[in-house]
Structure 1
Amino acid sequence: MNIIIRNSSNQPIYEQIYTQIKDMILNGTLTEGDMLPSIRGLAKDLRISVITTKRAYDELEREGYVNTVAGKGCFVAGTNRELIQEENLKKIEAHMQQIRQLAAGCGITNEELVEMFRILEVEE
């Protein structure tokens, strides 16, 4: 599992771990039943506290992304397709808001944005 910790980030380390694992689950890199690294193993690999790793795993479990099986480890939970859809819609809306703000700063109209999107669709 490739998790990158950025010490220069304003985001706490446990949140960086939580976010990266959640994103891997939502984008399908990790699928239902996949085993996550042990809390101690991940902490050792990332050179961070076991408590920090545990906090990230606890948050993932609280949100329903993973299940912990005593003595066996943490596994990716069965994903709720509606939850994934909602998460992705939030991301799309956030990106669209950024695009709209950037376009407004450049004097690009909504119609021009739609046309740009259509051109990109045709090119693919």
Structure 2
Amino acid sequence: MKIIVSNRSELPIYEQIKSQIKEAIFSGNLAEGELLPSIRQLARDLKISVITTTRAYNDLEEEGFITSVQGKGSYVLPQNKEMARENTLRKIELSLNDAIGTAKAGGITKEEVIRMLNLLYREGE
């Protein structure tokens, strides 16, 4: 698992860690039952505070993405397929809202955007 943190990001480091782990879970790069790096190991690898990685893992556990077993580590929990689908739909909606805003600012019509979307979607198949 590769996690990249940036001091230039608007997100706090623990949020960057959380979002990258969630993305890895949703994309299937982290499978159900997979062992995550220990809190201390992740902190060492990222050259950050153990407190920061602890907060990220605690939040992920509270949100139902991982479970921590005393003395054994943190593991990926099974994910609700509907929840994963909703997460994907939310990301698409955010991206489309950005695209619509850009299109309106540039004077692009809805029909042109739809044609472009159809073309790009076909190219991706």
Could you tell me the TM-score, scaled by structure 2's length? 0.94
Gap change, CA 1:114 and 1:4, over 3 Å in 2: same
1:84 is aligned to 2:84: yes
- Give unmatched runs, 5+ long, in structure 2: none
- Residue 95 of structure 1: aligned partner: 95
Q: Displacement, 1:119?
A: 1.8
- Give unmatched runs, 5+ long, in structure 1: none
Q: Displacement, 1:121?
A: 3.0
- Residue 14 of structure 2: aligned partner: 14
- Residue 49 of structure 1: aligned partner: 49
SS in 1 for 2:74: strand
Q: Displacement, 1:110?
A: 1.1
Could you tell me the TM-score, scaled by structure 1's length? 0.95
Deviations 1:35-79 (A, max 9, x none): 100001001111111111000000000110001111111000001
Sequence identity percentage: 50
Q: Displacement, 1:123?
A: 3.1
Q: Displacement, 1:8?
A: 1.1
- Residue 25 of structure 2: aligned partner: 25
Aligned residues: 124
